Amino acid sequence: MEENNNVKERVQKLMAQANIGSRRACETLIEQGRVKVNGAFITLGDKADPATDTIEVDGERLHFDTQPKRYIALNKPRNVVSSNRSQHGDKRSTVRDLVPVEGHLFTIGRLDAESDGLIVLTNDGELANKLTHPRYQHTKTYKVTVYGLPTAEALHQWETGVHLDEDGMTAPCAVQVIKGDKGFTTLRVIMTEGKKRQIRRVASKLGFPVRHLTRTHIGRFSIGTLRPGEWRDLTQDEVKALQMTDPAFRAVRQQTRTRSNDPRRSKPRRPQSRRPKR
């Protein structure tokens, strides 16, 4: 009898739907040999039908509930940890302490403890993966106050990429000056990636350390009037806005391509020596 593959889906996708983790994290679990389907270990790319197949992670069977998807916006205050649980000995509050709802929630758009602003919590593992994986290039927008007044050259370097130790080059981003003087400058930064403490590391490397950092948008969804520590459920239209790219980022990508193709910015070629004719 032939298998009906039309109802089967990749196991990492099903694991994310069961709130095991993001799809990337689920792929890692499969590669580590911790996932079985019908008693047999699987490899990345294998498919299963949750209605008829038994999927196990570390020996525990997955259960696929029918709970409605929930999407929550939180204005994370400073000195609050973005993870679901604090590390041993860390007495700081977590985002889950501020959002005491039942069930596992993924955190979209983690922020370091010193930063504040928009974080989204959801039980939708599929959407969490799409909004956090760099290949989807979803934008996040920040209001950043730095010490000093960045030069045009520094802003250009920030937009086109800065090399960070252990992480390599940063991806292109949009950096706009909102206001500034010799003391402090407020910037609007739009990014599609989020290496650990990336904005702070880039700003420090360029010579303009961060004084204050707030995330204002994920996609085109704005934090709006939420006060620090407040949270609320999102509407369906707002969930769609999360997945929409900020138009300012498209503009900077076009500018980056134009600059990279500008012949005036290319290195001059060395003249080729010609051998004398015999």
pLDDT above 90 coverage of the chain, percent: 54
Q: Is 34 a residue whose pLDDT tops 70?
A: yes
Which domains does the chain show, CATH number per domain?
8-61 (3.10.290.10), 71-258 (3.30.2350.10)
CA 250 to chain centre: 17
Catalytic residues: 112
Comparing C-alpha atoms, which of 58, 53, 59, 50 is closest to residue 18? 50
Q: Is 175 a residue whose pLDDT tops 70?
A: yes
What is the pLDDT, as a whole number, of residue 66?
A: 59
Q: Is 156 a residue whose pLDDT tops 80?
A: yes
What is the pLDDT, as a whole number, of residue 1?
A: 37
Mean pLDDT computed over every residue of the chain: 85
pTM, full prediction? 0.72
Angle at 186 between CA 189 and CA 144, to 5 degrees: 45
What is the pLDDT, as a whole number, of residue 273?
A: 44
Residue in the structure block whose two tokens are 């992480």: 167
Q: Quick one: pLDDT band at residue 264, thresholds 50, 70, 90? A: very low
Are 223 and 117 a contacting pair, CB within 8 Å?
yes
Residue in the structure block whose two tokens are 């934008």: 139
Which H or E run contains 180? strand 174-180
What is the pLDDT, as a whole number, of residue 256?
A: 54
197-230 pLDDT, tens digit each: 999 999 999 999 999 999 999 999 999 999 999 9
Which residue type, as a one-letter code, is found at position 263? P
Are 208 and 150 a contacting pair, CB within 8 Å?
yes
